[in-house]
Amino acid sequence: MGAFDVSSKVHIPAIPRTFVRRNRLLSILKGALDGEHEKEYRVILLCAPGGYGKTTALVDYIRQAQLPCCWYTLEPMDADAITFLRVLVTSIQHVFPHFGKSVSARLSGSAFSESEALSGPVLMDALLTAIENEIQEHFLLVLNDFHEVNNSAPVLELLNHFLRKQPQHCTVVVESRAVPRLELAPLLARREVYAIGNAHFRFLPDEICELARVQGSITLTLQEAEKLAHSFDGWIAGILLGTRLGEGQMSPGGGRILSGTSTLRLERQQLFAYLVHEVFKREQEVYAFLKEVAILPQMAPEVCDALLQRNDSASRLSYLEQQGLFVSQVETDEGPFFLCHPVLRDMLCEEFQREQPERYTELQRRASEFFCQRGEYQQALYHAQRAGEYEQMACLLQDAYQQSVKRGRSSEGLAHWIDDIPTDIWMKYPRLPLIRASLYLAQGDIAHALPLLTRSHELVDNAAETMESEDRRLLQAEIALARSKALFFSGNYVQAQILCQQALPTIPADEVPLLAEAHLRLGMCAQMLGCFGDCIRELQQALRLWGYGIAAKQTALLHSQLANTYSLMGNLALAEHHYRRAMSCLEELHDDYERANTLIGRGVTLQRYGKYDEAVTVLQEALDLARKIGFRRAEAYALVSLGDVYQDQGKYDQALLMMEDGLSLASQLAEHYLVGYTHNTLAMTYLLMGDPHTALVHLAQTEATADEKTSYHNELGALVRGTVWLYQQEYQQAKTCFLALAETLHAKGYKRELVQVMVRLAACYGALQERDEAVRHLERAQRLAEEYHYEALLPLELERLPGIAETLRFQHERDSNRELPVKKEAVPQNREPQSRAKMPDAYSRLQAVKTEVVPKLRILALGEPVVLLEGKPITRWRMARAMELCFFLLDKGKPVHKEQIMLALWPEVDEAIDQTLRSTIYYLRKALGEGCISYRSGYYALNLQAHYGDEVCYDVAQFEEYYKEAKENYEVKEFDEAYELFLRMVHLYRGDYAQSFYHDWCIPRREELRLAYLDARRHLALICWKQGEYQESASHWQQMLIVDRCMEEAHYGLMRCYMQMGKRSLALRQYQRCAEALQEELGIEPGERIQHLYQRLTGQVRE
């Protein structure tokens, strides 16, 4: 060994004077080394980056365990095989002095032959034999700092040889910053390796607090320690060096150690020096690489390659991870990426920006452009901000918001980026305050939104000379729609509706998201004003624009609003259907804000139909979610809705608590509709609790907050006021109020409230001794409740009006055969229906129906499916599948075996499917008529003529007849006749065939009819073009693009129309939209014909 002193390498290090005993780690080591896991491990791996306290924890365990331990601290010079063997023997002899004299002799200078030097395994065998023969007790062999020799092939070969023949009474402990490159597979297979990683070595907040205590005068709160643990990822060396916690003193200025980030910044130089001179002292090349790629929060190899224009980033990142250089790998479905320790990353970026500011800015700019091209706007904005490119951020924000709206995705994540842009940049981009206002409105924050909309409007006016007229009109329409939304939230429904109607004609037909938003807002206004027919028409138009099968946020919102509307109309089947569609979309989108809204709507519907326990569960889920994400508007609605349910359950104390909390929150948010509604429900609750005086106080409040005389809570207020008079025995006043209200509710279609009014009118008439009128109104309430599935409401109303019992007795005496109005309809027992002698072809018969006569039964399958009986939609389906079965049988046009029906409508396996089918058939017969469904030998068929004769009209049959005749006329150049027939076709096409059904049976038919519709539009556009009607021709091309934005022929035709009308800028913009759509959807460029037209427009080729 000569003068080579190894004593420091084989002594167990001393424990620092001030250290924290980490009982959690000691327990893990004790379990692994003392056999507490019921398994004797032969190798223990301790792997974590430098400075995580591996050595201290191991030494603390060894001192407590009193187990013989042979310690070997490795250094780079130990990479030589013979040096490694000599020190290894010395470490064992340090504990067992009489060990291995023969092995030592063979390794000593004079006795050591050249042949033995070349045969390390022979010498290792000698060492193994000596251990077997000369050491009888169990001992540990600790190889400390193994990363220093991790790349030495000779040492790895020797140690692998040792592990293959390792004695049973020797446990090897390998402590390393990098994962050892040893052959551990056989040991792993036998479960003889126990690994402890940096997840175990991270310091926890309570351990940091204890360390601060033993260090000296500094006292940390648990909250401060949690911040340190999070910032440094539990890296104790970083905490000690970066905060001077280890010196036991307060930071300069006398503040607490976490009083601000400046305290940490003061000590970064010391921490950075440790990293550069200790951790990366022999890794300068990968250090330089890491310093540049660390500008990426997530270091994906392909992104690093593109950023630095190289092709070896994957291997370099893997090397950094393997060497324990504070880089870790994360596996995802899209591929792996790497993370740098947060504190190290911050310091690397600071150092990079300080030393090479131009290179730093260039790489940040390059990263922003890279992510922008990939459509990853959050990442692009991050890097643009770091580069100080605020104008680029403004452009990115506009693109990002436009894309999120176009794709129906949430855009809340853009808010903080807009807030970071300086005011002088805002002045150049009028759309920025509009976007920020829209984001505030998405959270129901009207107060912050309105000033921003005013600012945006002013900026547009000031830019009249610099902004193109088309862009200016479009931006003004967007501002009007946003202002309409704010007015809606404020309860000004009529004003919101007017503003929306004014904006709608100014929106180009190809601006689909804006058109859909306008129709959505008009539909929601119509709903609040009680115009349900208008509401459904507008919402369906918006849904058609967005596309029925798209899992977009707007699609979910539309389904949710349709569900709410159908619920108010008493159509439970369609309400359930649209709630399912909304939740299906939201599950794919992971949009918690819209999910909270939809849950509230679902809970209210359950409450309206008397399913109180389910309603409480759903509304409580909505409340918890709203509070979790900080969605205060949804929280307010959930609270008030829960109060409604508790009121119906008679739990008045809980109802008051929920309603008052909801009212307080709604008042803070200036949510006027909810404020008025809650005053009404509070008034009713106090009335039911026997306090009409407080009820009148709340009614006075609701009159003061009513922004629209026609809004729903005014009808609700009249209902409550009439009930107060009824309870106060002012029967004539109550009757007058209820009679006027009944007319309004009937006209607007509020079915549940109409049931309540009928019952309360019956109570008034009964008290006034007008018993016949009382019974008549009670029977009407019964019919309404049965028709619209409000059976649970009647017992509740009767319980609240004890005086009506006499009316019930009189009714029963007058007609003893009539049942009291609380009985539910029974479903027949399981049985097959009687077979029919004849099975007519329903589809072929319907095609022959003359459409000029107003039919008794009208079936509309294009768009939202609906069946009209004498002009009124059938709502008595009871089950949504009953209506779908009607359209399924109609589409088939022939008898269908029940197995085929079950496979089409109930593809999921269900033991009760036979009973489900029979119940569905039963409800279908109840809706259409007993004779409309025939059954024979397992086959069902639709036989509408059996009940309605020739008074049946089917829009699909008309559509196809018009299409056939129109094409025939077009072929013989009868363009005027063809034009009229094609126009009738497109007027019939309210939307995709059976658009609300999502089973596979309707998809081929839907596609066939959609193609026919597009072809009709195409012919109309061509006819108008030939006749010089360019504006109308353009309109038809635009309608085609609403259905299929990738239809290149439509883009081409629209560009030609714009050119003919002298609108060159619109033609150029249309080409850009074509290119974007084709690239996004299909990954291709526009075809040669449209490119040639574009080149003509831009002057690249002559005409």
How far does CA 343 lie from the centroid of its chain? Answer: 31
- pLDDT-based confidence at residue 704 (cuts at 50, 70, 90): low
CATH class, domain 1028-1103, is mainly alpha
pLDDT single digits (tens) 622-672: 999 999 988 898 999 999 999 999 999 999 999 999 999 999 998 888 788
Q: Are 506 and 476 in contact (CB under 8 A)?
A: yes
SS3 letters across 513-529? HHHHHHHHHHHHHHHHC
* 833-997 topology per CATH: Arc Repressor Mutant, subunit A (1.10.10)
DSSP 275: I
- Containing H/E element for 952? strand 952-954
Q: Are 441 and 485 in contact (CB under 8 A)?
A: yes
Q: Are 491 and 711 in contact (CB under 8 A)?
A: yes
Residue 172 one-letter amino acid? V
pLDDT at 738: 93
Nearest to 135 by CA among 97, 83, 185, 173: 97
pLDDT single digits (tens) 544-593: 887 755 556 788 888 888 988 888 887 777 888 888 888 887 777 777 88
Give the pLDDT mean for 327-342: 81
pLDDT single digits (tens) 385-421: 999 999 999 999 988 888 877 665 667 778 888 888 9
Residue 425 one-letter amino acid? I
Q: Are 1096 and 1103 in contact (CB under 8 A)?
A: yes
What are the tokens at 590? 């992971």
- Containing H/E element for 940? strand 939-942
Q: Does pTM top 0.95 for this prediction?
A: no
In the chain, pLDDT over 70 holds for what percent of residues?
Answer: 87
Q: For 750, how many CA atoms within 13 A lie in the half-sphere containing its CB?
A: 22
DSSP 113: -
- pLDDT-based confidence at residue 477 (cuts at 50, 70, 90): very high
Instruction: Name every residue whose Cβ is closer than 8 Å to that of residue 390 and which is 6 or more positions away in sequence.
Output: 384, 421, 422, 425
- pLDDT-based confidence at residue 14 (cuts at 50, 70, 90): confident
pLDDT at 315: 92
DSSP 862: B
pLDDT at 511: 85
Pairing type for strands 857-860 and 952-954 reads parallel
Q: Is the pLDDT confidence value at 836 over 60? A: no
Rounded distance between C-alpha atoms, residue 512 and residue 739, angstroms: 44
pLDDT at 810: 59
CA distances in angstroms from 135 to 9, 100, 168, listed in the order given:
22, 10, 11
Instruction: Name every residue whose Cβ is closer than 8 Å to that of residue 217 and which is 6 or more positions away in sequence.
Output: 248, 249, 250
pLDDT single digits (tens) 723-777: 999 888 898 999 999 999 999 888 877 888 999 999 999 999 888 888 888 889 9
φ and ψ of 180, to 5 deg: -60, 140
Pairing type for strands 952-954 and 866-869 reads unpaired
CATH class, domain 7-201, is alpha beta
pLDDT single digits (tens) 941-954: 998 888 888 889 99
Q: Is 1062 helix (H, G, I), strand (E, B) or coil?
A: coil
Q: Is the pLDDT confidence value at 673 over 50? A: yes
On average, the pLDDT of the chain sits at: 83
pLDDT at 786: 84
Nearest to 896 by CA among 946, 949, 937, 845: 937
pLDDT single digits (tens) 437-476: 988 888 778 889 999 999 998 888 888 777 888 888 889 9
Rounded distance between C-alpha atoms, residue 90 and residue 74, angstroms: 13
Q: Please give the full DSSP string across 978-1011, using - where no structure is assigned.
A: HHHHHHHHHHH--SSBTTT--SGGGHHHHHHHHH
Share of the chain residues as helix, strand and coil, in percent rounded to the nearest 5: 65, 5, 30
In the chain, pLDDT over 90 holds for what percent of residues?
Answer: 35
Cβ atoms within 10 Å, residue 340: 24
Looking at per-residue pLDDT, the higher value among 612 and 787 belongs to: 612
pLDDT single digits (tens) 481-515: 999 999 988 878 889 999 999 999 998 887 888 89
Rounded distance between C-alpha atoms, residue 481 and residue 479, angstroms: 5
Give the pLDDT mean for 689-718: 74
Burial class (CB in 10 A: 0-12, 13-18, 19+), 181: middle
133-142, 190-199, 293-302 — which is least confidently predicted? 190-199
